[in-house]
Amino acid sequence: MTGLEDHLRGLWLPLVTPFQGGALDERSLRRLTRHYSAQGIDGFILGATSGEGMTLREAELERLVAIVRDEMAAGRRTLPICLGLSGADTARLKDRLDETADWPIDGYLIASPYYVRPSQRGLLAHFETLADHAAWPLALYNIPYRTSVNITNQTMLRLAEHPNIVGLKDCGASREQSIALLRDRPKEFRVLTGEDANFFEALSDGADGGIVLSAHVETATFAAVYAEAKRGNHDAALARWHEVADLTRLLFAEPSPAPAKYWLWRCGLIDSPEVRLPMVEVSSELAAAIDREIERRTKVAA
């Protein structure tokens, strides 16, 4: 699959990475891939924040990509894959681009350098260097509350001119900044929100879609929110949004992706809610709240 910019819209799923006994749980990963490939999602993000990518060894990350691609090939639907990469060393990230250049992916999702807090000139040079080097297109990831640096719109608009930078996962500083970027961006530059709780709001503002962890649950409803918004049916989109808005708070009540993994485990989609340190599994209080919500939704569906 080529032309990432043509596919970087709609509902993308930042797939959790299942573990069991400290290892990649390949059986659960295959089950997840089959399940979500049959749902109304438009692409997978692998090995990023929700996938606990910073805890994955290179061999695990490569196996993760291979399994997801293999399961899709065996099914009836092939979706684009973006590989999440992050780091604060431009040279090391160039090496990672080389190491993954022949993997069966369609692009990268690359976050701002964390901790070092580069200037806007530094961000510009960092991302342009990576885009010049990458074999696959890049979507950037602006999330200043994790990286301590915000990519300003002035910098982003310059980066959007690069032919190998095709979009943005927007977890930026403010709605005002996001609206201004949507107004001023080049026509083919895609902007997807990465803030689950703002999915409907971002679509109303003109975003091209979302990368939504909460869509692991009630996937069809999240897809319907996007579909109705795209058709211009504001009231219908809002009505569907009200069905899942509370989920976006529940699934982020403790550090993600532990709540989503607990939900998926309780529903039988993964064999363990295991996460890797420094993440820990959900508290007993949140587990009880999730159990109640699963029971409530099961009764409503019945």
- The series of mean pLDDT values per 10 residues for the chain, 302 residues long, is 84 98 98 96 97 97 98 91 96 98 98 95 98 98 94 98 98 92 97 98 98 98 98 98 98 98 98 98 98 94 76
- Best CA proximity match to 87, nearest among 147, 10, 158, 15: 147
Q: Which of 94, 108, 115, 141 is catalytic?
A: 141
The residue written with tokens 């590989």 in the block is 83
What's the confidence (pLDDT) of residue 300?
Answer: 85
Digit-coded pLDDT (tens) for 217-267: 999 999 999 999 999 999 999 999 999 999 999 999 999 999 999 999 999
Which H or E run includes 114? Answer: none
Cβ 265 vs Cβ 256: under 8 Å = no
What's the confidence (pLDDT) of residue 2?
Answer: 55
Look up the pTM and report it.
Answer: 0.97
What's the confidence (pLDDT) of residue 133?
Answer: 98
What's the confidence (pLDDT) of residue 173?
Answer: 72
Q: Which of 169, 226, 261, 262 is catalytic?
A: 169
| Exposed/middle/buried for residue 182 (C-beta within 10 Å: 0-12, 13-18, 19+) | middle
CA atoms of 226 and 232, how far apart (whole Å): 10
Going by C-beta distance under 8 Å and a sequence separation of 6 or more, which residues neighbour residue 57? none
What's the confidence (pLDDT) of residue 301?
Answer: 80
Digit-coded pLDDT (tens) for 97-130: 999 999 999 999 999 999 999 999 999 999 999 9
Q: Which CATH class is domain 4-243?
A: alpha beta
What's the confidence (pLDDT) of residue 120?
Answer: 98
| Count of other CB atoms within 10 angstroms of residue 119 | 10
| Count of other CB atoms within 10 angstroms of residue 246 | 12
Would you call 141 a catalytic residue per the annotation? yes
151 is in an annotated binding site: no
81 is in an annotated binding site: no
What six digits make up the tokens of 251?
Answer: 């699934």
What's the confidence (pLDDT) of residue 195?
Answer: 97
CA atoms of 71 and 83, how far apart (whole Å): 17
| Exposed/middle/buried for residue 249 (C-beta within 10 Å: 0-12, 13-18, 19+) | exposed
The CA-based diameter of the chain, rounded to the nearest angstrom, is: 56
Would you call 169 a catalytic residue per the annotation? yes
